[in-house]
Structure 1
């Protein structure tokens, strides 16, 4: 799905992956689920691109539903995969802290589980090599993505600001569709290690002034970063 001149999305509101398209090539933001590989190939074809145009993958964090096809791109096509050092072990299949009790509704939870199974969520191949993406780095990749530390959902969660796309990619720093309840609109994401820290971290993306705020789960938000952060903070108070 084309969102803008330099911005594409694959997947859906349950699990999403983003592509930044520039004359220099393509940067992939997150790698979703393993079975979204076919979606990636189809989207690249529609863009007039091939796998050789993919210059790098940046993971917003190391959870399995964001790692999906990253190792396949790295291993089979030589594409470097960038992740914050705080989440490198998680992206390689390391342990994840136990989270507190989650709010859920049966229909939404079953929908998330069914989609994950259908798209290979049980067949995740974790990474064996990663490249560090540290807070403040501007990576030498298409779109000149800048890394913004966003700890809370996980220790190494990051946001990625791409000015040419007028977008900030936030992973699970927030969500616009809660995968366990189906509730829509900007709000805290589930399965967060440190919920209060995650909300506080969102203030770091405000200086981007980006129009697009793009989570790993939920509808792309084009109402501006300030409105998104305000909505999440309000939802957290409720």
Structure 2
């Protein structure tokens, strides 16, 4: 029996809208703006702009119903397949994709990206491009050998995972096992973009506290190399958020490619 006092994201699920409001909204008191929004958008824009990461298929395995990390990706991939472990996150994401009433507002993030690209005076529809690129939103079971069984996904040119490995892994062996599953989705030579938090133990959504696997920079570097990845880009941002709803010390942004 699991002895952790905290809930598990992929087992218990959570309120996906509250998660977005707490960690990604445009509210003036949203403490994580520099960490969860600007840091990710800036680094994603930078690595995609180089032009080495592109192709037909990108698979996204991330927590909640976030989409801001896909803005830059949608410029370089024709098809985005989003995998989610729970139905509430799927419903929340589809509400935005289908532009239904009550969808979460992401305009602040697309505006920020346009400003970084010096395109704030242009009418380019960043969100529309993401909507067009998201071809499938698929329920997955992380414990199955084929996570999307009975559906077999085509090999991906890139996999993005933001926060998910941290939330689902109970220990080091768990982390390695799930990372191995994610990497099997890649073509030989494909790229993995991994976003996580260092030295964290929990995050809170509403009244519920959720488990986070605690690890450091040295651990994740060794694991990636051990799984056959070459690390191309590694950035660490020290925490700036002043709030007790999450206890991470730093955010990491990693790009690695699978050896052929």
TM-score between both structures, scaled by the size of structure 1? 0.37
Q: Higher RCO, 1 or 2 (CA under 8 Å, sep at least 6)?
A: 2
Structure showing greater Rg: 2
